[in-house]
A and B are shown apart, each in its own frame.
Chain A
């Protein structure tokens, strides 16, 4: 099945299918596919960030009262808050690729981007996807303009990653008209000024606790907003506890189905993860720009920093990380969009759960995007600060703030550890359930490696053939290694967190390398062709090192002494280092980045 989006035909793919496909086999969505309209929207977001937000960064960081709310309202006037809201409720109902693009353009000021993201994303999306017509009519149009601001209240002092262990209680009143909520939520973004909270609580019943979402208005009696937290980064965003003391919430404000709150909580987090991953790449591009600018200006030993080899090497590596992040990020957004459009065609109707299905389908990819994006940003921001030397450590240079702001991305919306476990377990679970052909692939790989033969490889087209072959090998190596672990631990593999973590890391590297290749093949011979090809070579080379190191570790952990040597021999069939002049590639990348004064792409 195929879906036509913006005049381009895209194949509809299933979640996790990249593991079994050839790199570049199916058309993916890339930044090169943005329409003029999307680019104009991005230009508005970028200008808003540059002219309205960044000049007030000192006041924002000091949490000047009223300022964040004022900026959100201004963003609302421009329509920056209505992208995800259905047209029926006065929104723009744009594809995820568009909302990701806007998010990414704002993350150069993360305090603002996080506040905006918490409002339009985790704050408003529960209502968009799970609200009744009455609930949507009541709140959505005003959320779309920024007249009302939303927040999402899941975390509690005792339950972070273990979200379903929340202790907040909701008890139905004797007359059955409302629930009475008691408990404490903490670290609630936008809490300082939000008007509408999606609060998760347990409804006690004979069948046990029923985890349920409620829409709670700020002025509800008994609802108190605690004091602002003092944070390491994103200091301009509002983060407060929510104290619920006999808060009466009308039964009409129950969001979704009673006892199905986890579906809302996790589905919304999936979207949030994708948004966070791409947002991180936007911030990384900003860090690259700051680093490139500084390296051009700063002179030591009579020469600009950007003429020194170790500085240039950093710029080259940063560029490759950004390239892969964009490639896998927009690929994922495009996959979700396409699946959603395909499901819509099968069962048209605005108020069904097509979108949730589409998001659930790409749990693996969304988690990869979250982990890869946030870690790519940490790497890029850290290297950018390093290029600034001592000045980068001083608060007057913006890279200092960017580097502090980066850190939270590895923690919120599901820690990177939780996301690693989630994505690895999802691959295995879908394999067991035959949703993806994992078991067949396990056996085919084993059979082929036992014979000392490489699995057959057919390149897609005649460009980047070596890189394609390496990714092909990486996929097989990852599956071979995890298969050995699955055979040893069977169902108990879920307790082997380090093995699952290694498998997740291999999947992340594979998806990044695969996406970089696909993007470059699709790009053809445009003006940046050699730059994109170099980014891809570097990404694949880095991924290959990682994957084979991890595969060996998994084998060493999973195979008993007498079988380990055989296992390693079989893995070695796939393990071929191809002589890549990494230094030369980085040097060429750096030259292009320096010439462009930052990221050279669109």
Chain B
């Protein structure tokens, strides 16, 4: 069984970020990058399935050579090799990324294509769905449990939906996107970190994948920082509170 995992790097979610002066993006001068947490859940699930079903896990990511550090962190967790599609990650939108991933799928023909349910930088939650659409594959998004049958033909996926859980069965190959509660990603082992340095990252470009149309469908217009919270006030009596709620906050 072969499992492909889309693996994206994002700005360290614990870092304090600043916008660039023109508000066109985040100032990346001194930020650290990490793997997208949902992608880590996707990789963990892929590794567990591969261990159970004697499979191979392949990472795929899109970006310049500077994302190799994140890819190697994924290889250290147990993926066997990786594919990096050479493209500036700043000029991707979900749709172009999905078309890139769909093209890689055609090269690799995996049994399962795992994604994180969304990347925590732009929070689009589109890529997995678009890939399924472009490839005509069944999809299960927001998976909190994945069980593959012994023959490796059917995935039974529990999905986190509004107000409850939904369990569906998919015929493989399929696209599955991981939710946070799917698993707890393992620790990398130090010897594996060293071995990861020797694993292969195949680099492909858009020509290799026959992608000619690189026009973006979404344009980032501007970013705003959240407004600072207003200071609270102390009220002297219940009457004053009710008055303020009515006339200032207009909550009553």
Contact = CB atoms under 8 A, between A and B. Distances in A.
Interface stretch (B184-192, B201-209, B243-251): B184-192
B189 A92 contact: no
B250 to A, nearest CB: 27
Contact of B197 (A37, A528, A597, A602): A37
A264 interface: no
A73 to B, nearest CB: 14
A220 interface: no
A77 interface: yes
Interface stretch (A41-49, A320-328, A330-338, A540-548): A41-49
Contact of A82 (B16, B29, B30, B191): B191
Contact of B16 (A526, A528, A597): A597
A77 B189 contact: yes
A595 interface: yes
Interface in B70-124: 72-73, 76
B190 A82 contact: yes
A44 B188 CA distance: 7
A83 B72 CA distance: 20
Contacts of B76: 40
Interface residues of A, number: 22
A602 B30 CA distance: 10
A36 interface: yes
B13 to A, nearest CB: 13
A326 B69 CA distance: 24
Contacts of A43: 73, 188
25 contacts: A36-B69, A36-B72, A37-B197, A40-B73, A40-B76, A41-B190, A44-B187, A44-B189, A44-B190, A47-B187, A48-B187, A77-B189, A78-B187, A78-B188, A78-B190, A79-B191, A80-B190, A92-B191, A92-B194, A526-B30, A527-B29, A527-B30, A528-B30, A595-B16, A597-B16
Nearest to A47: B187
Given A78-B190, A82-B191, A527-B29, 13 more contacts: A36-B69, A40-B72, A40-B73, A40-B193, A41-B193, A43-B188, A44-B188, A47-B187, A77-B189, A78-B188, A83-B190, A528-B30, A596-B16
A78 B194 contact: no
Contacts of B189: 44, 77-79
A215 to B, nearest CB: 26
Interface string B168-207: 0000000000000000000111111110010000000000
A41 B76 CA distance: 10
Interface of B: 16, 29-30, 32, 69, 72-73, 76, 187-194, 197
A596 B15 CA distance: 8
Contacts of A79: 189-192
Contacts of A528: 30
Contacts of B191: 79, 82, 92
Contacts of B73: 40, 43
Given A78-B189, A527-B29, A37 B194 contact: yes
Interface in A1-38: 36-37
A11 B188 CA distance: 33
A489 to B, nearest CB: 51
Contacts of B193: 37, 40-41, 44
Interface string A583-602: 00000000000011100001
B56 to A, nearest CB: 22
Contacts of B32: 602
A180 B30 CA distance: 61
A601 to B, nearest CB: 10
Contacts of B187: 44, 47-48, 78
Nearest to A601: B30
A8 to B, nearest CB: 17
A526 B194 CA distance: 28
Contacts of B16: 595-597
Contacts of A80: 190
A259 to B, nearest CB: 38
Nearest to A40: B193
Interface string A77-107: 1111011000000001000000000000000
Contact of A92 (B72, B190, B197): B190
A595 B15 CA distance: 10
Contacts of A82: 190-191
Nearest to A596: B16
Nearest to B186: A78
A410 B215 CA distance: 63
B92 to A, nearest CB: 23
B112 to A, nearest CB: 26
A36 B32 CA distance: 12
B90 to A, nearest CB: 19
B139 to A, nearest CB: 31
B53 to A, nearest CB: 24
Select the residue from B72, B76, B190, B197 with max chain A CB neighbours within 10 A.
Answer: B190
Contacts of B72: 36-37, 40
Contacts of B190: 41, 44, 78-80, 82-83, 92
Nearest to B191: A79
A40 B190 CA distance: 8
Contacts of B192: 79
A79 B196 CA distance: 14
